[in-house]
Chains A and B, each alone.
Chain A
Amino acid sequence: MANDSQQRSAEPPWLRRTFVAASVCFVSVLILLPVISVFTEALRKGFAFYITSISDPLAFAALKLTLTTAAVTLAANLVFGLAASWLIAKFSFRGRNLLLSLIDLPFAVSPVVSGLVFVLLFGAQGWFGTALSNHGVQIIFATPGVILATIFVTFPFIARELIPLMQEQGAEEEEAAVLLGANGWQTFWRVTLPNIRWALVYGVVLANARAMGEFGAVSVVSGHIRGRTNTLPLHVEILYNEYNFAAAFAVASLLALLALVTLAAKAALEWRIRLEQQRVAAEQLEA
């Protein structure tokens, strides 16, 4: 591959070197430098201070809310992703393309607006605000609002990974299973799920990174009540605005680690999915 592409690209060596150097410099300054600085700033006041910062009870409460939010969000969007991809990939019906575009809508909505829409519905002056407060239910400035906003911003992630894959795989295997007497659930668990498991994990990993790291949408609905409605990214903001920089970066370093783990998992899964596809292609060739 490399040799082939080297032969094709007959740029003069000086131009090739310029391109490589420009790319490496640009990406290093723009992207690598900030990542490194998160960790050096976090350790600026020493390792003991770092440990104190991340084991602070308020940081711990923020971590707990972040984990709860991510768990509920992923479960909800996973069920939706499976239902939507089954619907779109296994059946052909009128309005299918419209449905596909509607599922993608949240990608086009900016983070702050994603939070705002729920404030307009459930906030004090929102459509259902009075009704909710009469029944003593609080959504905005409380955990349900944080969860709703997070579900919104991660809405398309899992469905988007599953739909193209399931469309490509077609419905023949499922049809065979049904004709052999399997019911719907058996078909799903024994035939469909094994075929899509890695793409499913891939979608969940990407959605999880966004769910745990979402800032704008959550910031609008949370109300920043410490120890109660603060997620980890919001906790970083509060510490930073109090000029408690080392502590802010210490908590931020946890999120940066999450991002690095996510990227590693993403690379591993992409490799895995490619292997799987090659295996399937080889089997089809034999058959």
Chain B
Amino acid sequence: MTRLRQHSVIPGFGLTLGYTLFYLSLIVLIPLTALAVRGAVQPWAQFSEAVFDPRTLAAWRLTFFTAFAASAINAVFGLIVAWTLVRYDFPGRRVLDALIDVPFALPTAVSGIALTAIYAQNGWMGRWLQPFGVKAAFSPLGIVVALTFIGLPFIVRTVQPAVEDLDPAMEEAAVLLGAGRLTTLGRVVLPTLQPALIAGFITAFARSLGEYGSVIFISGNMPMKTEIASLLIVTKLEQFDYAGAAAIALLMLVSSFVLLFLVNVGQWWSTRHLRRVA
């Protein structure tokens, strides 16, 4: 043990190491292993039938498409919101800042039924959309709305620190070199914020892929049309098809691990890159 760690006078290494590893294995590692084994160890025909049958394929397509659309909307508006919150002072700024965290704190089932009430035909938003023939609730558009709702804080809270860290000297230099404000924003500020924006986009996208509570009320859950991947897992479980549920879940888990790994690699690369530039 002494070779494993540097010497310290502080007691408790054995106790805390033992307990941490025990609890981590019990709650996280063993259950996730069960999923990996249950999902991966099954005949290929059975696996591919669960993962690639037309109904599941339609759910994958819908899930990816709506998650991408929602994250793209949030990338644009999240950037504007983060910029506004850091750079401008206006009445209600603190309230606006606090509201960003609501999707983190509000239980997803509550967001789900509230969004459904608003975007249903007679709802506050739905009644304005209906004359234009736009059906929001119980359509893919409703899913995009729900995923935009839950994704916004991820982008704003990732971009906000990057805006705070912007070096004013760079913007001043751009002005001294004769750039207008819009050119400075587009050519100097935006590229600097890009890594944070991409990180926020991927995090929100990864989170959206697995979202359940806020989506299932507003989506209507019609097979082939508005059924998301998470819901298929629940449906398979209700039919006691554990292997099928595990197969879909495993694929979902792997894609979100890969995405979040990319974010970490990107952050590691950009800090190294920035340090080298400095």
Q: Is A124 at the interface (CB under 8 A from chain B)?
A: yes
Closest B residue to A4 by beta carbon equals B168
Residues of B238-254 contacting chain A, CB below 8 A = 240, 242, 245-246, 249, 252-253
Q: Which of B7-15, B49-57, B192-200 contacts A (4 or more CB under 8 A)?
A: B7-15
In the complex, are the beta carbons of A171 and B10 less than 8 A apart? Answer: yes
In the complex, are the beta carbons of A91 and B10 less than 8 A apart? Answer: yes
Closest beta carbon of chain A to B61's beta carbon, Å: 18
Residues of B1-39 contacting chain A, CB below 8 A = 4-6, 8-13, 15-17, 19-20, 23-24, 27-32, 34-35, 38
Q: Is A227 at the interface (CB under 8 A from chain B)?
A: no
In the complex, are the beta carbons of A117 and B80 less than 8 A apart? Answer: no
In the complex, are the beta carbons of A120 and B206 less than 8 A apart? Answer: no
Q: Which of A52-60, A194-202, A215-223, A274-282 contacts B (4 or more CB under 8 A)?
A: A215-223
In the complex, are the beta carbons of B242 and A125 less than 8 A apart? Answer: yes
Q: How far is the CA of A220 from the CA of B123 in the complex (A)?
A: 30
In the complex, are the beta carbons of A20 and B90 less than 8 A apart? Answer: yes
Q: How many residues of B contact A (CB 8 A)?
A: 91
In the complex, are the beta carbons of A10 and B175 less than 8 A apart? Answer: yes
Q: Is A233 at the interface (CB under 8 A from chain B)?
A: yes
Which residues of chain A have C-beta atoms less than 8 A from B103's C-beta?
A: 31
Which residues of chain B have C-beta atoms less than 8 A from A119's C-beta?
A: 237, 242
In the complex, are the beta carbons of A216 and B230 less than 8 A apart? Answer: yes
Closest B residue to A22 by beta carbon equals B80
Q: Residue-by-residue, is A99-118 near B (CB-CB < 8 Å gives 1, otherwise 0)? A: 10011011011111100111
Closest beta carbon of chain B to A224's beta carbon, Å: 11
Dominant SS among interface residues on chain B: helix
Contact of A86 among B12, B89, B149, B230 (CB under 8 A): B12
Contact of B35 among A84, A90, A120, A214 (CB under 8 A): A120
Q: Is B102 at the interface (CB under 8 A from chain A)?
A: yes
In the complex, are the beta carbons of A35 and B107 less than 8 A apart? Answer: no
Number of interchain pairs (Cβ within 8 Å): 282
Which residues of chain A have C-beta atoms less than 8 A from B171's C-beta?
A: 8
Residues of A1-54 contacting chain B, CB below 8 A = 2, 5-6, 8-12, 15-16, 19-20, 22-24, 26-27, 29-35, 37-38, 41
Q: Residue-by-residue, is A63-103 near B (CB-CB < 8 Å gives 1, otherwise 0)? A: 00000000000001001100110110011111000010011
Residues of A160-187 contacting chain B, CB below 8 A = 171, 174-175, 178-179, 183-184, 187
Which residues of chain B have C-beta atoms less than 8 A from A24's C-beta?
A: 92, 96
Closest beta carbon of chain A to B200's beta carbon, Å: 15
Dominant SS among interface residues on chain A: helix
Q: How many residues of A contact B (CB 8 A)?
A: 99
Given A23-B96, A233-B213, A86-B88 contact (CB < 8 Å): no
Closest beta carbon of chain B to A237's beta carbon, Å: 6
Task: List 11 interface pairs A-B (beta carbons < 8 Å), by A numbering.
Answer: A9-B87, A10-B181, A19-B88, A26-B77, A27-B100, A31-B100, A91-B10, A116-B35, A117-B31, A184-B10, A212-B107
20 extra A-B contacts, CB within 8 A, seeds A38-B110, A99-B24, A175-B10: A23-B81, A27-B152, A30-B145, A31-B149, A32-B99, A76-B23, A83-B23, A84-B20, A92-B5, A93-B5, A111-B212, A111-B230, A116-B233, A184-B10, A209-B105, A216-B108, A237-B109, A249-B114, A266-B101, A266-B105
Interface residues of B (CB under 8 A from A): 4-6, 8-13, 15-17, 19-20, 23-24, 27-32, 34-35, 38, 77, 80-81, 83-90, 92, 96, 98-111, 113-115, 117-118, 123-125, 145, 148-149, 152, 168, 171, 175, 181-182, 185, 206, 209-213, 217, 230, 233-234, 237, 240, 242, 245-246, 249, 252-253, 256-257, 260
